[in-house]
Structure 1
């Protein structure tokens, strides 16, 4: 690893902190849920400690400074010009999407997603008594692309599409051309487009994602943004919704208030402002560290475990592993790795039926843990193949 100004090497014990990743189960090495095992940026830590030093933690308002932090960040890094009147504060991207499903569609409606995709999209649609309609991505030559003919046909049946940009779990940054084509088809069929862009900052060094709203002008576009993944502050539960459509804005604002998803965590504003205004250097070093981790995985699989293929990606800290040559369902493979090696990865089937031969691996951890995880993966695969007939 190259020398860095921040500590991305230390292994920090997260046990006994009510940590979802480390305390929920007894696995030795959890590499599933999407948060990072890195210490947050010093500016964020300092801001939280400063706020904690005041001994009263009552109800909190959202200051203009928080909206300004978002506006300045997206303008300077991505050329995405937002204004406060087009933004709503929310406790999280998924609570926001849940509220939007309730106020912008009816029970029984179909909502389109592009599988394999973030598994909570399925839950939030079905739990709101709507139906999932999948525009399955095409996987060939180890790469993914959009089936636009299928998308065109299926958008004619829905009121809403949920886009993942960059795409979890495949780590793909959609091009401006792809986003423009999606926008054209949504406009053609008068479909509301929600773009979840929570992983947008976590791109390879020198690479930037394309915000949907800078790629295609569409008056029924809604963007969900949050610093939670980028700066490892998901526990503060903070995000924003952006749309230039005043009618949609009014409906969403009313529904979020009914759902009580527009309130603010007492520490969230300090964390968000410190992230966007004082932690850019930390983020850029993090992106380099994640890129180096990705190269470690790529080289290890090529040299030590070629039966498992890494799907090329340019965003997120989540790697999509093609395990089709193992001839084992991803849920079977996941459970075998847990029981045999104490390694917990995500089963690809959770992201759609088309992911049944894949695993998702979180590499946002110190290299010591990453190498341990790769060794466990290899040992588990060898053990499985020995049981089923050898490599």
Structure 2
């Protein structure tokens, strides 16, 4: 696939949702951390499937089923190529949350009361709650990686902790959904490998912004969501080393994932089919492939440079406003600003900004332990993507200043 020069004006035209007004103002969408906007190519792909190829996948011998199956499995190849892994190492799920639950349940039989699971204080609830349940069910110890007061990791302290703990599993985000901070994973993964710890990386935020080579990253499992990568909602996936995938207990059972069934017992197929029970979100998977094709067609170095230019401009302008406190690490960040204005409630600021057509998120962002660590009830979060512009930032900053004037 040819790689195109990054042209923000052309790219903006590809996203129909961005080209509208909200409350009488041009939409400024700064909530990509929650869900990214979709290019027309993704919308067209899902529509085309339902219009021309709608049929169930696998086993069908008629033309529509075979066409649907071919598209569905080609999508797996596309996502595998994006992450530099093998197609049989990609399992389709409803998203990162289901993938983490699949892993937690799948590893449960391999854990006991002598084992330790390491999580971190900045994880999304989806990478905390499943491991709490596993710890309760198995007697395993749930341990927490140390976090600095400002919400960043001290790599040396974390490496020491991992080596001393010798945990069975380490669960950690590639980038914080609340702060946007990028975790320096390489030394942590190296330390975990040295003591035989399995590494699970939550890539929901990092997958689009960082475009990781998972073989080079050397983690054991990696979860991701399509809707944060320009794709449809309700679909995502799990990467796992093939030999490790096949050691997991199936999260769900039923049709498709079986090898044989008698009234007495059943046997299961090998991964990835072992974990893909029932009729999947076929249109969503095909739409996800279109999203990956779109991303892969853009010059990533130029895309990332543009994204960081817009983010740093926004951070600089935001920091000039008296009374604003920014909690994000501005040096190693995917493009997310988490902030508050004095003691004003984040919800009030977000509501006022919406009146100006600026879409941001407010609250605890499904990271209550992180909020407690920072001593906060919540923050306003402006999360950028490559389709944002400097003009978006100017509108955001001016709207924020007007909102603050209404509060003061």
Q: TM-score, structure 2 length as denominator? A: 0.67
1:171/1:313 contact within 8 Å kept: no
Shift in Å at residue 135 of structure 1?
1.1
Matches within 5 A, 1:62-211: 63-75=72-84, 82-105=85-108, 111-126=117-132, 130=136, 132-139=142-149, 144-146=153-155, 147-148=157-158, 151-152=161-162, 155-156=165-166, 158-175=167-184, 178-188=185-195, 190-203=196-209, 211=213
Residue correspondences, number: 346
Shift in Å at residue 274 of structure 1?
2.0
Q: TM-score, structure 1 length as denominator? A: 0.70
For residue 301 of structure 1, the aligned residue among 318, 322, 329 is 318
Shift in Å at residue 112 of structure 1?
1.8
Determine the structure 1 residue equivalent to 2:266: none
1:198/1:228 contact within 8 Å kept: no
Shift in Å at residue 370 of structure 1?
5.1
Unaligned runs of 5+ in 1: 16-27, 76-81, 387-391
Shift in Å at residue 312 of structure 1?
0.9
1:53–1:369 Cα change, 3 Å: same
Per-residue CA distance 1:149-170 (angstroms, 9 max, x = gap) = 66336733x4321121234333
Matches within 5 A, 1:1-391: 3-7=8-12, 11=18, 34-36=33-35, 38-40=37-39, 42-54=40-52, 56=54, 58=56, 61=69, 63-75=72-84, 82-105=85-108, 111-126=117-132, 130=136, 132-139=142-149, 144-146=153-155, 147-148=157-158, 151-152=161-162, 155-156=165-166, 158-175=167-184, 178-188=185-195, 190-203=196-209, 211=213, 213-216=215-218, 221-230=220-229, 232-244=230-242, 246=243, 248-252=244-248, 254-257=250-253, 262=277, 263-282=279-298, 284=300, 287=304, 290-305=307-322, 307-309=324-326, 310-321=328-339, 323=340, 326=342, 328=343, 333-338=345-350, 344-347=361-364, 350-352=368-370, 353-357=372-376, 359-364=380-385, 371=394, 373-375=396-398, 377-378=400-401
Once residues 283 and 114 of structure 1 are traced to their aligned partners in structure 2, the CA distance between those partners, rounded to angstroms, is: 33
Shift in Å at residue 229 of structure 1?
1.7
Which has the larger displacement, 162-171 or 306-315? 306-315
Shift in Å at residue 293 of structure 1?
3.4
Per-residue CA distance 1:258-279 (angstroms, 9 max, x = gap) = 7976552121232132233344
Larger radius of gyration: 2
Once residues 278 and 307 of structure 1 are traced to their aligned partners in structure 2, the CA distance between those partners, rounded to angstroms, is: 37
Which has the larger displacement, 44-53 or 1-10? 1-10
Once residues 337 and 278 of structure 1 are traced to their aligned partners in structure 2, the CA distance between those partners, rounded to angstroms, is: 34
Shift in Å at residue 345 of structure 1?
1.8
Once residues 251 and 281 of structure 1 are traced to their aligned partners in structure 2, the CA distance between those partners, rounded to angstroms, is: 36
Once residues 268 and 149 of structure 1 are traced to their aligned partners in structure 2, the CA distance between those partners, rounded to angstroms, is: 39
Per-residue CA distance 1:310-353 (angstroms, 9 max, x = gap) = 531545343233x5x94x5xxx7324435666664233762522
Once residues 288 and 116 of structure 2 are traced to their aligned partners in structure 1, the CA distance between those partners, rounded to angstroms, is: 34
Alpha carbon RMSD of aligned pairs, Å? 4.2
1:172–1:210 Cα change, 3 Å: farther
